[in-house]
Amino acid sequence: MTEERYPGYNVLSKQYTPSWNEQTRRAINKRLAVPYGPRFFTAAEWQTLEAVCKRIVPQPKDRSPVPLPSYVDQKMLEGHEDGFRHASMPRQGEAWKRGLAALDEEARQRYGRRFHEIGAAAQDELLTKAQGGELSGPAWGGMPCKIFFEERVIPDVTRSYYAHPAAWNEIGWGGPASPRGYVRMGFDRRDPWEPAETKPGREEKARRENKHVGD
């Protein structure tokens, strides 16, 4: 990233302030401690999942990446389901395994290599075809690729991204509202513990203000 929208802001500076209680701290620390690597998926499925996550949410190179495949893996491992699913879809874990295998097979058919081994443009092309419902090889097992993309890939990957404090820093979110809460709910108003968005020529002013959001 060449510019910071909320310069100097780090939501984790609130960790031991009145903004977060012990329950909130435990929840965030558990999220930050998720190990990187497959526990639900096989090693081969993990390679494909990593590649998919990188194309769905390309991440800045100037910070540690949000461990998207680990979060998707954990959701499948712990069975945290959405409470509903499309009638044409299997359970979420099976849907992911089938979808990853199908993307690998589609890549092999077109390029002679697995999904994670082809270039970014080719990966994007296959994902775009999945989004448009244009893939129907036998590896899909009758599962609609469009529904897989819309109801598994996009929600699971993007929700994983915005569950991480690094993403909160980028969008200026103050983190969980327990126990302090938010008071100034009107347009263009913010509480003192929310970050200041930079304006042209006012980067240093925003940076100074954002050093105190954890107070």
Mean pLDDT by 10 residues, the chain (215 residues): 78 88 93 96 98 97 94 97 94 98 98 98 98 97 98 98 95 85 81 85 85 70
Residues 142 and 203 in one domain: no
pLDDT of amino acid 73: 98
Structural domain for 187, as ranges:
11-19+174-210
Domains held by the chain: number: 2
- How many other C-beta atoms lie within 10 A of the C-beta of residue 210? 23
Residues 42 and 127 in one domain: yes
Q: Decide if 89 is inside a domain.
A: yes
Question: Which pTM value belongs to this model?
Answer: 0.90
Q: Decide if 57 is inside a domain.
A: yes
Q: Decide if 27 is inside a domain.
A: no
pLDDT of amino acid 3: 66
pLDDT of amino acid 208: 85
Question: What totals of helices (H) and strands (E) does the chain contain, helices first?
Answer: 9, 0
Residues 77 and 178 in one domain: no
- SS3 label, residue 188: coil
For residue 179, list its beta bridge partners.
20
Residues 52 and 71 in one domain: yes
Residues 81 and 106 in one domain: yes
Q: Decide if 29 is inside a domain.
A: no
Using alpha carbons only, how large is the chain's radius of gyration in Å?
20
pLDDT of amino acid 215: 60
Contacts for 31 with CB less than 8 Å, ≥ 6 apart: 163, 164
Residues 68 and 128 in one domain: yes
Phi, psi angle pair for 179, to nearest 5°: -100, -5
Residues 115 and 187 in one domain: no
pLDDT of amino acid 189: 82
Residues 53 and 103 in one domain: yes
Q: Decide if 4 is inside a domain.
A: no
Q: Decide if 180 is inside a domain.
A: yes
Residues 179 and 141 in one domain: no
Q: Decide if 181 is inside a domain.
A: yes
Q: What is the spatial distance between Cα 205 and Cα 209, in angstroms, rounded to a whole number?
A: 6
Residues 43 and 80 in one domain: yes
Residues 60 and 99 in one domain: yes
Residues 44 and 113 in one domain: yes
pLDDT of amino acid 181: 80
